[in-house]
Amino acid sequence: MAEEIIEGPGFAVGSLDAMGEGFGFRKVRHELGVTAFGVNAIVLPPGYKSNLHYHDEQEELYVCIDGPIVMDFVEGGEHTLENGDLARVDAATVRRVYNPGEKPATYLCIGGKDGYVGRDGQLVEE
């Protein structure tokens, strides 16, 4: 596990532990220099419920890293995410996230707008 953020020509590598400690947000976008989309990791204490919220423009992808976490959709019920589970949420959808467990829970929240960039990968000869 990287204890620091390592930057090189065109890349950055690090761990959530290197981005902070305790409960709350880890500013992954800032720490790794991500510019194409937003991304944070959030560490929730046991029993914590976030505020209900929505976005004006940003679609989000939630990725459970160390769960469980519960996605509570006002108009769609509650859905439990375990490690490796994902949830996509439209900007205007009202949601909250909570930790129903007795230990901390961690998830990634990745947000963006304006669509998909098609297959633009190019092979490089070794």
Q: Has residue 117 been placed in a domain?
A: no
Q: Has residue 92 been placed in a domain?
A: yes
Q: Has residue 21 been placed in a domain?
A: yes
* pLDDT at residue 116, as a whole number: 78
Amino acid at 12: A
Q: Has residue 125 been placed in a domain?
A: no
Distance set, CA 126 to CA 11, 120, 123 (Å): 19, 19, 9
Q: Has residue 118 been placed in a domain?
A: no
Distance set, CA 16 to CA 27, 63, 92, 99, 107 (Å): 9, 14, 29, 18, 11
Q: Has residue 70 been placed in a domain?
A: yes
Range of the domain at 93: 6-112
CA separation for the pair 71, 88 (Å, rounded): 10
What is the domain-level CATH number for residue 19?
2.60.120.10
Prediction pTM value: 0.91
User: With contact defined as beta carbons under 8 Å apart, do 75 and 52 qualify?
Assistant: no
Per-residue pLDDT band for 84 (boundaries 50, 70, 90) equals very high
* Count of structural domains within the chain: 1
